[in-house]
Structure 1
């Protein structure tokens, strides 16, 4: 198990280029299964989760050609459906949460799809009902083998219908959309997720010949087509990494420029960081974060304590609440962090408390952070990364802390952040991989 050793308290300076978006990449890669033609994807991040999915696609029979760093050509002309019943498939697919999104394309194109219980972060209950209820509404027959924990769906021909999703699940919406584009007739998906990455998937599918209307809203209208063709698609910069870098700059009192952020796709993310008192300036499509000695949390108009909570898009993404919580520890003022969507994502705060942060964990969903305006800097400790986002939050805390910190289980961080230690070193951070 690898670890990061960090000597914190150093001010950083320089430019960072955000990687391609992990959450978009996982959707886009599954969509290559919808056509036998070549699909070129650029700006793919070189991270564990993406590389695992590419490897799984290759094992299924997808031909993969690397053009250059971050750019690949995929051709799913000959898919080995028998492989989907093998132990190797079960082992590969169960190690990756994003593997669930191969089911919709397989069902739409081949009439059957299989998946074991997918892996991913242990951040609370993440049910799959939305996916399979959507497939069932399209006419698929669903089966769950409780002993093997193996899901399967089959359909001779999917039929368009009206689907009101029980929750605005991003992966659930993506899966049902990919099934519906090849269904016969018209499909309406209401209460659909509308994150920029889901919009990107819909735009890519339209460029392949799909007919999807309502992109960017929570009501998608889809007219099924007989066949999809190839396309070229470029992945957006990762909004979660951009938010992480904003938090990094604030915590370490650093002057950092984040390049090519696709600002119009960041939604309210910059505004939420501004509520913590963090200054930033948009220069073209670059986000400049000046060095700040102090930043103060706003209050509501009536003077009550600021509350920051997550919500489905266009609300604030849950993936950045861990970053917000860490940044708040060194702010001036108090803030209530309300993690509504996952019940285990705040359990990393015990490490921050050990570092000297003033945090009250109210319950599994809420934490009150009392910012001490840097009067009591965090201190370095040994800790273990529980998941991707908490891991990066602890890394940011360690970079701002006095003394030596060691973070174990950094494979969790590597799942979502490309060469993070190298990029931070280039800014002046004292970080090494053990």
Structure 2
């Protein structure tokens, strides 16, 4: 029997790698002769950078950049083991966690620091980028990134706009004459698991603005600014990002990068699983069953989380998928239609959340062992 162990991390408890190893121990307790393959996964959210760097034996580089309000901080980006792809997490340079609650100001917050990280990687000769969106403190449509890359955003007097989403209301011209040709030719993939457009009631300002500190007036101003931004992008490149699915991600960052850099929006899980060779592993080793997992299984799981992604890949191959998760909340029946065979919660008795998190690896090992025992018996092996 061949088992693939492909979990996500259990946030705040164990890493994806630790979870996979705990599952492996459980499998071997139940079936010592089984062959196991571990493939820790991620959905493209925070932590993906470190995960992909470790998985590919890559390197993390630290460098001084600017935070969302222009203050100097130490940031970092990753380069995969083959030296060909840089991974940048928006949250590390332009994230909410970098600001105190009273400092949140989406009118002025900028993604400039994320653009600096891209430039540092470009200086190493990198021409392929994975940008992990999410957790940003900004609603600037990615303008700050583009300013860091050499784009000049000019007002009606030909003066450069200050950084910050609100100033895009004054945008009259996008000048890319000083942008290095290498940047224009580089490949950008955006790890994004939301489908919100840039504009409208489901757009970046209205949906994501409040969580970044925007009041009603700020939401209105930022909505106006992003409308001008989208219009000017279309005027410059012919690309309409106004209603593009996913363009509203990370305060509209996806819109700016798609419109002016030709970036591709893809589900984070798809990018990670492709890089790590999930499908190749399944096909080459004739896997009997896949055990996956994450911290919580709920209605949002089907929207692009690791468990749903694994199910989608395995469904067409007829490979059973069993999820071992920290908790199950609400109706998960849609996942059964997508290929999930069964789901099991870790908790084996009355435990507080803190206790369960502290014992996560032990519980994973124990639950996996019991699952495999049943699976082996059912298969008559």
- The TM-score normalised by the length of structure 2 is 0.30
Decide which structure has greater strand share.
1
